[in-house]
A and B are shown apart, each in its own frame.
Chain A
Amino acid sequence: MLSPWLEHLIFSIVAIVAVAGSILVVTRRNPIYSALFLIVVFGTVSAMFMLLDAPFLGFMQLLVYAGAIMVLYLFVIMLINPRDGNLPKEGGAIENSFAGGVSLLIFSLLAFAISHSGEVERLSNAGGIPALPEVPLSHGGIAGFGLELFHNHLLVFELTSVLILVGIIGAVHLAMRRKSTALTSEEAAEGAVTADV
């Protein structure tokens, strides 16, 4: 058990790193930098899970996101290798301000909901998160988590495995190199013309 002020300190540091990292993810022009900052954000989210007494989930987050998904992203970035010259031109001021306006609207709606929710107020008046509620030491560990997953949520687990299977088959099918998806040179020229228009 960490002392409360140490927990608070860790939380503040992690939150600041997460905010800075996420802003860098969406503003970097080169996707490789975005991917690397996204790994930082995933690390902070994992630390957040551990602060919330979910150590198993924190490690799963590192394993699945930072381990598997980001490797997939980096692999695709290297495969298509967009050079500086043919990185897409980013949108103008109008597009950016539209997107900024929408995201600001969403944030203010969520912030309004959080600050005016009686339930959140009741829970936060009762004390900070580590004290409320006192959970048994086994909370979030593999044993308790696994028992509950396989006893009460077995159907969800099985459906997830079907989903992953469909994902694998779909990805392999889509990414397979076939004759029919390869362009003839005429089609390629035509495509280039339409892209220019």
Chain B
Amino acid sequence: MFSLPAILYLSAFLFSIGTYGVLARRNILVVLMSLELMLNAVNIALVAFGRVHALSAASGEHGGQIFTLMVLAVAAAEAAIGLSLLLVIWRRWETIDLRELCQLNG
């Protein structure tokens, strides 16, 4: 038996760790991975809320899980596009350092 707040705290922790990774790291690969971490944290919260509202939600018994499946698909598309952009950046500038890609800086 485990409680809803415990899962929500875990989800919040994973989300803030992902935020830290996005803000602090300079490696584009790790930044993309931290984004995946944040999406996963949100997924946990969605499934947990979907579970406790399973019998009362207007969106049906599996509403939260279907939402999570949608997020899963968005994450897959995001990873594909992000990684191919990274590949283009690597071919053009031979770097995966975000701070070197600052040519739009005013």
Contacts and interface: CB of A to CB of B under 8 A. Distances in A.
Interface of A: 4-5, 7-8, 11, 15, 18-19, 22-23, 25-26, 28, 31, 34-35, 38, 41-42, 45, 48-49, 51-54, 56-57, 60-61, 64-65, 68-69, 72-73, 76-77, 79-80, 82, 86-91, 95-96, 98-100, 102-104, 106-107, 110-111, 114-115, 120, 123-124, 127-133, 135, 139-140, 144-145, 148-149, 152-153, 156, 160, 163-164, 166-168, 170-172, 174-175, 177, 181-183, 188, 191, 194-195
Contacts of A168: 80
Measured as residues with beta carbon below 8 angstroms from the partner, the interface class of chain B is: 35 or more
B72 A60 contact: yes
Nearest to A11: B2
A96 B24 contact: yes
Contacts, number: 278
Nearest to A28: B30
Given A45-B40, A73-B79, A99 B4 contact: no
Interface string B31-48: 011101100100110011
